Amino acid sequence: MASRRDFLKTTAGVGAAVGLGSAVPKPLIGAPAVHRRVVTPVSVASGNGLEAVDTAVRAVNAGGDTLEAVVEGVNVVERDPNDSSVGFGGLPNLDGVVQLDSSVMHGPSRGAGAVACIEGIKTPSRVAMDVMRYTDHVLLVGKGAQRFALSMGYPLENLLTERSRRRWIEWRARMSDRDDYLVPPETGSGNDEPFEDEDSYGTNLIDSHDGVRPQGTINCNVINREGDISGVTTTSGLAWKVPGRVGDSPIVGAGLYVDNDVGACGSTGRGEAVIKTCGSHSVVELMRSGMSPTDACLEALRRIVTFTVEPRLRNDDGRPNFGVNYYAINKNGEYGGAAIYAGARFAVCVDGETRREESAYLFERDR
């Protein structure tokens, strides 16, 4: 394989051979690794992103910027009080406070922005985009992120809906039968049944010492006709998390990665596993080496399985007792999604159709 130095040497020679000679001092450094081609716009997202992919493709078809398009898409879910996985109505931390994480990447400008542990702002993805556009930084956290959002004109709002507050009260009561919190009589026996609205669409249920814990996120990526790519991931993170906990969603390379020459990937599920394996970056690098989006997602999931050595994170088969999903798109507009366990689905908008498709997977669920 030719080294970069060989490549530059060879291509410089080509310039001379066609008569450009020294009149063209540095025409080839910075030339695109992949030349532009017209592709059909495609958007891929976690299963809770049906409306997001539709919005994103409409926006790019109307000539909108790819990052504006995906952020507009996920804003629909962030503002929805009935979606408990992100933004307004997201499930709170241990103290009953909603803390949100988000990151964005803009392929054409190689830009990135993120916020973590931000409170009181409904659309953290939009704040992440503003971090990218209006600061020299990539990641703002906590109070600093909130102050920045307020300075940009975002209103401070209570993100805890009555529904998510009730769920937190129930969880707190079930944590221990030796404290003074009683299970609210209207909620029945106090067993650990999953809440009625949990499904595989962007929500993962994690087995843990205090029963199943919901963990929801939305990731959305788009490619436009010119082959420009952007992505966003946004979440309220792991329900009942330790205050200050940051998941993979705002970590560039973990919950999201975009390389405009190659493709994009984002994740949902147990953030700690994705961070430790640099998940989304790994998927993009695997696509760079020639793998299809689906195969790249599966290979990155195998790395998570290999990294999961702690007995508390493994089931009786020695497999992870949690879920992780990847969603990817490449420069040719090919897309895919994969999960550790069967049954997950992802959202896609392509060729004028918006639908959910089955994710590829490593393991059947019922073993």
Q: Which residues bind ligand GLY (CB under 6 A)?
A: 215, 217, 235, 237-238, 247-249, 255, 268-271
Q: Among residues 107 and 271, whose Cβ is nearest to ligand GLY? A: 271
Annotation marks residue 217 as catalytic: yes
CB of 100 to ligand GLY, least distance (A): 10
Pairwise CA distance, residues 82 & 1, whole Å: 53
Cβ(49)–Cβ(202) below 8 Å:
yes
Pull the structure tokens for residue 158.
Answer: 């209570």
Compute the CA torsion angle 262, 265, 271, 273 (nearest 10 deg): -60
Closer residue to ligand GLY in complex, CB, 224/267: 267
> C-beta of 24: minimal distance to ligand GLY in Å?
47
Calpha distance 113→126 (Å, rounded): 10
Residue placing its CB nearer to ligand GLY in the complex, 227 or 337? 337
Q: Enter the tokens of residue 95.
A: 């103290």
Calculate Rg over the CA atoms of the chain: 22
Phi, psi of 295, deg, nearest 5: -65, -40
Toward ligand GLY, which CB reaches closer, 284 or 350?
284
**Measured distance CA(25)–CA(12) in Å, rounded:** 10
Give 48 or 249: the residue with its C-beta nearer to ligand GLY.
249
Q: Sign of the C-alpha dihedral, residues 245, 249, 253, 254?
A: positive
Give how far Cα 130 sits from Cα of 125, 144, 346, Å.
9, 14, 28
Work out how close the CB of 219 gets to ligand GLY at its nearest, in angstroms, rounded to a whole number.
Answer: 9
Least Å distance between CB 188 and ligand GLY? 29
* CA pair distance 199, 185, nearest whole angstrom: 26
Distance CA 289, CA 281 (A): 12
Q: How far is the CB of 124 from ligand GLY (least distance, A)?
A: 12
Cα 16 to Cα 2, 5, 177, 255, 286: the distances in Å are 19, 17, 80, 44, 35
Query: Judged by CB, which is closer to ligand GLY: 66, or 102?
Result: 102
What is the rounded CA–CA span in Å between residue 99 and residue 133? 23
User: Of the two residues 57 and 232, which places its CB atom closer to ligand GLY in the complex?
Assistant: 232
Nearest distance from residue 263's CB to ligand GLY, in Å? 20
> Hey, which bits of the chain come out as E strands?
42-46, 100-106, 111-118, 139-141, 203-208, 211-223, 229-238, 256-259, 263-269, 324-330, 335-341, 345-350, 353-358, 360-363
Report the distance separating Cα 190 and Cα 172, nearest Å: 11
Least distance to ligand GLY, CB of residue 255, Å? 6
For 108, residues 6+ apart whose C-beta sits below 8 A from its C-beta are 66, 228, 230, 260
Catalytic residue among 55, 123, 217, 235: 217
Which residues belong to the active site? 217
